[in-house]
Structure 1
C-alpha cells in the first residue's frame, strides 16, 4: 500500500454526523459546538483521508470568524471555566429542587 493512500478513519460515520450538525447549527457557537469542532480539527488534522470532513470543519470554523489558533484559545477558556460536555451554562436550568418558591 502506498504511503500517500487515503485511509478511512474508524470514527468517520459518527464524526460525519457531528460535522453535519455543526454545519446546520444556527447562531453563535456555544461550548459544545466549539469543543466538538476543536476535537475534530485535532483528530483529522494530519489524518491521510477524510478530506470532506476536513473541508467542512474548516468551513464551519471560518464561518464563526475563527482560525485554528483562535478556536484553541476559546476552547482552553471553556475548559478552564470548569465546563464539561453536555453541561448547560445557563444557571436557571436544573431540577428545581434547589430553587426557593418564588410565588410567595
Structure 2
C-alpha cells in the first residue's frame, strides 16, 4: 500500500517582515547591505515549500541587478570576509537578522 504525500505550501513565520524587505529591495540598487540581504533571503527561502511570490521577487531583484545566484554568493562571501556587510545600530550592535 503506497502512502500518498500531499504537497502543501507552508507559510514562513518571517514572510511578512521579509516581504517588506524584498519590496524595498525591488526599488533599490545593489550595495553591500542589499546584496547581503538578498543572499540571506535566498538562503532562507531556497527550497522552502511555499513563499513562491517571495522567491519570484528575489529572482526579479537578481535580474535587475544583472546577477546570478552564484554571482550573488560570490560577491557576498567577499563582502562578509571584508566585514562590509550590515551596519551597526545606535547601540553598536550589528543589524543582521538570520532568524
With normalisation by structure 2, the TM-score equals: 0.80
8 Å CA contact 2:39–2:72 kept in 1: the answer is yes
Provide the residue aligned with 1:30 in structure 2.
31
Q: Deviations over 1:18-61 (max 9, x none)?
A: 00000111x4x111100000011111111000000000000001
Provide the residue aligned with 2:7 in structure 1.
4
Provide the residue aligned with 2:86 in structure 1.
85
Provide the residue aligned with 1:21 in structure 2.
24
- Where does structure 1 lack aligned partners over 5 or more consecutive residues? 88-104
Provide the residue aligned with 1:92 in structure 2.
none
Provide the residue aligned with 2:54 in structure 1.
53
Q: Distance in 2 between matches of 1:6 and 1:52?
A: 12
- Where does structure 2 lack aligned partners over 5 or more consecutive residues? 89-99
CA RMSD of aligned residues (A): 1.2
Aligned length: 84
With normalisation by structure 1, the TM-score equals: 0.76
Q: Distance in 2 between matches of 1:85 and 1:47?
A: 25
